[in-house]
Amino acid sequence: MIHVGAVAGKNTRSVTEPNMNTANKKTPYEHLKEKWLDRHKNLQEKLRAKHKESLEWVTKNLAPKQLAVGSLGSLLLLTSPGIPVLPSAHLLPATQEVSNTISKNAFVVTDLSHILPNEVRPLTSDEEEKVVQVLSRDFGFTLAAELEGKRLNRSYGFIGQEQHLARYPGDTIATHFDPPAGGDAQKYASEGMAPGLGAWGYFAQSKEQFTEKDKMRETYYIAVQTFLAPGFLDHVKEYGDFFKYRKMLVVNPNNGNAIVAVIGDAGPGESTGKHLGGSPEVMRHLERVDGSFKGPVLYFFIDDPHDTIPLGPVQLQ
Amino acid sequence: MKKPIRKTQGKHFYSHIVDTSSISLSLGDMALSQVERIHLVSLVESQLHHTVLDAVLSELSEEDKKIFLKHVALSAHDKVWELLYKKVENIEEKIQKAGEALKKQLHDDMKGVHKKTKTIS
């Protein structure tokens, strides 16, 4: 299903923008409106003609108060001859610039809302397939719940807040940000450093060997429950190598915010009620928080064999 | 064997069967104002609603039609599915087929429309 919330477009123009088509040429809107109004009218007439008795019965026998709020539209569609009409122009600001006021993310949020279950649980393979289709199409990546025969225990779960990881021996909160004060330090230093190292140790063996790539990996890392992956315990080394710095797309299905991250740690424990963790930078971009207001994210492997996809926030295509 | 009643998290009882995200994405590629897009989206939704209702009602007796419509009007999705599984063979496939046929028509309609190539925002 799609709904009125699904109105963000890739190419949009202002309501008041002059039509560039000539007077004799129909705009895309006029073309579709004419066709779809005709078809709508035909469908409505056909429905009334075929099922007149039962439609009249439900109209007479159901008091308006009995109707669930969400069903009013359904009943009105059944019982009224009305056809959805163009909203009055005066209901909208006269100079509204469509694409500036409505986020493109509305589309991905709407699409996902029709696939995801109400509760946060592991997705079925059918649901995973549909989500992968939507995200691959919208973000332009090749995504998969399973890659090289390996998958995580789930692809939809609650994300919790992780701390910064030591990137090389001697890395502390004082050396973690450049510059050490202001900027990112001001935003992210308060989360502190994790007391231990990530699952794969330091990102670089020394400060001298530390590269921009290492820096990005720690900045945009997630911790996933590698130890719960099917088959992990039988092939610990093989699975560990596979998961190490594996790129994943992480998406907040409630706002469409997405980020390319790497698996930089293993966790959280099963008892926490959370299913993965995000670095302070990942969490901020996704607009997710820990604790009682924790929320779910989707996370899928990115098939990027040549390592061409940069880490960090991504926009819809 | 009794079929499990599928979880219906959408706003209509068939929301989990007919996925129209491809239509919303195609509309997103077109040069439409916000008001125009909202109107077209509402037209798609109402066409689909009528199509699905017709597909279902055509499979039911007069008495069952009334029960079904009552459940729909009250948004009692579980009861809708309980009734449909009991009364109609392969109802999900039938709804899906009707929805897919409409979607094909809608996509064909959109194919004929000139797509704007330059972004203005």
The number of helix segments (H) and strand segments (E) in chain B equals 5, 0
* Model pLDDT, residue A179: 81
CA nearest to B100 within chain A: A1
Shortest distance, CA B81 to any CA of chain A (angstroms): 16
Task: For residues A230 and A129, state if they share a domain.
Answer: yes
Instruction: Let me know if residue B104 belongs to a domain.
Output: yes
Instruction: Let me know if residue A8 belongs to a domain.
Output: no
Task: For residues A225 and A114, state if they share a domain.
Answer: yes
Instruction: Let me know if residue B7 belongs to a domain.
Output: no
- Among A166, A218, A114, A159, smallest CA distance to B99 is for A114
* Model pLDDT, residue B114: 57
Residue A258 has phi, psi (to 5 degrees) of -140, 155
**Which residues on chain B are in Cβ contact (under 8 Å) with A134?**
21
**Which residues on chain B are in Cβ contact (under 8 Å) with A113?**
10
Per-residue pLDDT tens for A194-203? 999 999 999 9
Number of domains in chain B: 1
SS3 A133: helix
Among the three residues A57, A80, A98, which one is the final residue of a domain in this structure? Answer: A98
Instruction: Let me know if residue A23 belongs to a domain.
Output: no
Given a cut of 70, the residues of chain B with pLDDT beneath it are: 1-11, 34, 114-121
**Which residues on chain A are in Cβ contact (under 8 Å) with B45?**
1-3
Instruction: Let me know if residue B45 belongs to a domain.
Output: yes
Cβ contact A6–B54 (<8 Å)? no
Task: For residues A166 and A133, state if they share a domain.
Answer: yes
Beta bridge partner(s), residue A313: A259
Instruction: Let me know if residue A124 belongs to a domain.
Output: yes
- A12 closest CB neighbour out of B45, B57, B121: B121
Helices (H), A190-290: 212-219, 236-243, 280-286
Domain span at B35: 21-110
Instruction: Let me know if residue A303 belongs to a domain.
Output: yes
* Model pLDDT, residue A164: 96
CA nearest to B32 within chain A: A12
Number of other residues whose CB lies within 10 A of the CB of residue A124 = 10
Shortest distance, CA A26 to any CA of chain B (angstroms): 9
Cβ contact B54–A46 (<8 Å)? yes
Shortest distance, CA A253 to any CA of chain B (angstroms): 15
Task: For residues A92 and A195, state if they share a domain.
Answer: no
Decide if pLDDT at A277 tops 60.
Answer: yes
Task: For residues A76 and A177, state if they share a domain.
Answer: no
* Model pLDDT, residue A182: 74
Task: For residues A116 and A201, state if they share a domain.
Answer: yes
Instruction: Let me know if residue A309 belongs to a domain.
Output: yes
Instruction: Let me know if residue A2 belongs to a domain.
Output: no
Instruction: Let me know if residue B69 belongs to a domain.
Output: yes
CATH number at residue A169: 2.40.40.10
In whole angstroms, give the CA distance from residue A166 to residue A201: 9
User: Number of CB pairs < 8 Å for A and B?
Assistant: 224
Cβ contact A2–B7 (<8 Å)? no
Among the three residues A77, A98, A119, which one is the final residue of a domain in this structure? Answer: A98
* Model pLDDT, residue B10: 52
- A107 closest CB neighbour out of B12, B24, B54: B24
Cβ contact A54–B119 (<8 Å)? no
Cβ contact B12–A66 (<8 Å)? no
Domain span at A74: 28-98
Task: For residues A83 and A115, state if they share a domain.
Answer: no
Task: For residues A143 and A265, state if they share a domain.
Answer: yes
Per-residue pLDDT tens for A61-105? 765 545 443 343 444 444 333 444 444 333 333 333 333 334 467
